[in-house]
Amino acid sequence: MSIELDELQRWKRQLEAEKAELDRITQKDREEIERLKIRCSLLENAVWSWRVTDPDAADSFANTASELRGAIHRKEAELQMKNREVKARLHEMDRLVTTINERISQL
């Protein structure tokens, strides 16, 4: 019985570690998107600053900001898809942990 209990507890620890890793990755992606949004906002502000003094530079900033906005939208869509997958995986892990806890309590 002790071997089974040890094995169940090991599985539970592995599932909890995997859940923590998924949460960390998701948080890292959200932080990256926020950094990109800040950079884009700075570029958009530069467009207005340079529009009067150097229209060519302003156009360059505007193009870069537009490309960055596109990258942000793609990254957000990618993150939404990944979040759905992570939520499904976390739900499955929670179910497994509950099953393991029930089994542990029976031992």
pLDDT over 70 at 21, yes or no = yes
Give how many domains the chain has, as a whole number.
1
Q: What sign does the CA torsion over 8, 9, 12, 14 have? A: negative
Contacts for 14-21 with beta carbons within 8 Å, 24 or more apart?
15/93, 15/96, 15/97, 15/100, 16/97, 18/93, 19/90, 19/93
* Per-residue model confidence as pLDDT tens digits over 62-96: 898 899 999 999 988 988 898 888 888 888 888 88
Single pTM value for the model? 0.62
pLDDT over 70 at 26, yes or no = yes
Give the residue numbers spanning the domain of 96.
2-106
- Cα atoms found within 13 Å of the Cα of residue 104, Cβ hemisphere only: 14
**pLDDT given for residue 75 in this prediction:** 87
